Amino acid sequence: MTKKTKPTFRHLIEMGMLDKQAIGYLFQNAEHFLTSSLEKDALQKTLSGKVVTNLFFEPSTRSRHSFLIAAKRLGAIVINPDMSTLATAKGESLIDTIRTFEAMGTSLFVIRHSDNNTADFIAAELSSNASVINAGDGDNQHPTQGLLDLFTIHRHKPNFPELKVTIIGDILHSRVARSLIEGLHIMDAQTIRLVAPTALVPNDVDQLGVQVFHTMKDGLQDADVVVALRIQKERMQDASIPDPNKFYQQFGLTSESLAYAKPDAIVMHPGPINRSVEIDSSVADGPQSVILEQVRNGVAMRMAIMDCLLT
Ligand code: CP
């Protein structure tokens, strides 16, 4: 296969920064790291001597640790602090913390924060030529999750324009959905459907280039790719959190509702999963599920992104 041209970008803040050519390069690079590093338990030291600083101001299992593993597989020096032990707890500002890590030689900051646009803000305030990756900001963007989702789809069903993709659940608060929808458009996917209760559909849905459904039967018909999303309680007032039993009855991805999709549809979920709320265990652990493949692909995709930014 011909090696694709490496794109030039310093930061990765949102999916919309990328084009089809750049995503194609990242697919190729992620495939390379899957086979040359993950499958062989081998290091690929392209970031040898570089310092990568993970700053996760929100809980995370997948993103935080896959960035950590990816950076170590690339030979970087990785700082991955428990945020409660940083001097921010003594009143140091976010930017002073960033400047401190810049002074220690950080080449790349990986930022997760509950406030929208924090990664963008940090990128604009840097005093060095370090890079910034947005590892999820509020309900805004989660571009590396979007890229690992696209990569997982590409490995199973590479013909994006022909795909029918259905995303189910709390779209309103989902940065994952926003990044994935943008990425699917970049890859020329023609049919993107959302299935959600009216209260969990974003106000700007008309600008997202999607079809909206309120029943699983209508939204899942002949789908090739099915994405279930968690209800993001941490971004809701208590009164607006849906009753989990009622939500499961109407929007839970079960064997019965999945039967509306194509028999070879793949089932995805960015995690963390709330079983028996948005997805049944028989589906999450079933033969169509690629949920743990997404996690594994996430390490390779994050290696691909960091390698692209820093080499
Ligand atoms: N998908 C995702 O971002 O999961 P974490 O919150 O565990 O990182």
- pLDDT tens figures, 81-109: 999 999 988 999 999 999 999 999 999 99
Per-residue pLDDT band at 233 (split at 50, 70, 90)? confident
Nearest to 97 by CA among 87, 109, 89: 87
Using CA atoms, how far residue 193 sits from 168, 175, 210, in Å, is: 8, 16, 6
Per-residue pLDDT band at 253 (split at 50, 70, 90)? very high
Query: What is the best residue among 55, 58, 61, 295 to mutate for testing ligand 1's pocket, by most ligand atoms within 8 Å of CB?
Result: 61
pLDDT in tens, 103-124: 999 999 999 999 999 999 999 9
Report if residue 191 sits inside a domain: yes
Q: What are the beta bridge partners of residue 213?
A: 195
Answer yes or no: is the C-beta of 272 below 6 A from any ligand 1 atom. Answer: yes
The count of residues in the chain is 311
Q: How far apart are CA 38 and CA 125, in angstroms?
A: 35
Per-residue pLDDT band at 196 (split at 50, 70, 90)? very high
| Alpha helix stretches (DSSP H) within the chain | 20-33, 62-73, 94-103, 118-125, 143-156, 175-186, 216-219, 244-251, 255-258, 281-284, 291-310
Q: Are residues 51 and 127 both part of a single domain? A: yes
Report if residue 192 sits inside a domain: yes
Mean pLDDT (the chain, rounded): 96
Confidence (pLDDT) at 3: 86
Q: Are residues 167 and 210 both part of a single domain? A: yes
The two structure tokens encoding residue 269: 């979920």
pLDDT greater than 80 at residue 48: yes
pLDDT greater than 90 at residue 238: no
Report if residue 177 sits inside a domain: yes
Q: Are the beta carbons of 15 and 146 closer than 8 angstroms?
A: yes
Confidence (pLDDT) at 10: 97
What is the sign of the dihedral through the CA atoms of 286, 290, 296 and 302? negative
Q: How far apart are CA 9 and CA 309, in angstroms?
A: 7
Confidence (pLDDT) at 269: 98
Confidence (pLDDT) at 89: 85
Number of domains in the chain: 2
Q: How far apart are CA 78 and CA 95, in angstroms?
A: 20
What is the C-alpha end-to-end distance of the chain, expressed in Å?
A: 22
- Candidate from 86-95, 110-119, 192-201, 239-248 with smallest mean pLDDT: 239-248
pLDDT greater than 90 at residue 309: yes
Report if residue 3 sits inside a domain: no
Residue with tokens 């290091």: 43
Q: Are residues 107 and 19 both part of a single domain? A: yes
Answer yes or no: is the C-beta of 183 below 6 A from any ligand 1 atom. Answer: no
Q: What's the CATH code of the domain at 129?
A: 3.40.50.1370
Q: Are residues 154 and 64 both part of a single domain? A: no
Q: Are residues 152 and 215 both part of a single domain? A: yes
Map residue 226 onto helix, strand or coil: strand
Report if residue 80 sits inside a domain: yes
Nearest CA to ligand 1 atom 6: 60
Q: Are residues 278 and 194 both part of a single domain? A: yes
Q: Are residues 235 and 219 both part of a single domain? A: yes
Q: Are residues 63 and 199 both part of a single domain? A: no
Q: Are residues 135 and 153 both part of a single domain? A: no
Q: Are residues 78 and 178 both part of a single domain? A: no
Confidence (pLDDT) at 62: 98
Q: How far apart are CA 278 and CA 229, in angstroms?
A: 7
Q: Are residues 158 and 174 both part of a single domain? A: yes
pLDDT greater than 90 at residue 258: yes
pLDDT in tens, 153-168: 999 999 999 999 999 9
Confidence (pLDDT) at 1: 73
Report if residue 97 sits inside a domain: yes
Nearest CA to ligand 1 atom 5: 60
Q: Are the beta carbons of 259 and 253 closer than 8 angstroms?
A: no
Answer yes or no: is the C-beta of 60 below 6 A from any ligand 1 atom. Answer: yes
Whether the model pTM is above 0.85 = yes
Map residue 288 onto helix, strand or coil: coil
Query: 256 φ, ψ to 5°?
Result: -65, -50
Q: Measure 112 CA to ligand 1 centroid, in angstroms.
A: 10
The two structure tokens encoding residue 5: 């041209």
Nearest CA to ligand 1 atom 4: 62
Per-residue pLDDT band at 232 (split at 50, 70, 90)? confident
- Nearest ligand 1 atom to the CA of 135 is 3
- Percent of the chain exceeding pLDDT 90 equals 93
Per-residue pLDDT band at 242 (split at 50, 70, 90)? confident
111, HSE (Cβ side, Cα atoms, 13 Å) = 31
Per-residue pLDDT band at 138 (split at 50, 70, 90)? very high
pLDDT greater than 80 at residue 237: no
Q: Are residues 149 and 286 both part of a single domain? A: yes
Nearest to 299 by CA among 90, 83, 76, 64: 64
Answer yes or no: is the C-beta of 134 below 6 A from any ligand 1 atom. Answer: no
Report if residue 89 sits inside a domain: yes
Could you list the residue range(s) of the whole structural domain that residue 107 is in? 15-141+295-310
Report if residue 69 sits inside a domain: yes
Q: Largest alpha-carbon pair distance within the chain? A: 56
Q: Measure 33 CA to ligand 1 centroid, in angstroms.
A: 21
Amino acid in the structure at residue 243: D
The two structure tokens encoding residue 48: 């040898």
Q: Are the beta carbons of 263 and 220 closer than 8 angstroms?
A: no
Q: Are the beta carbons of 195 and 225 closer than 8 angstroms?
A: no
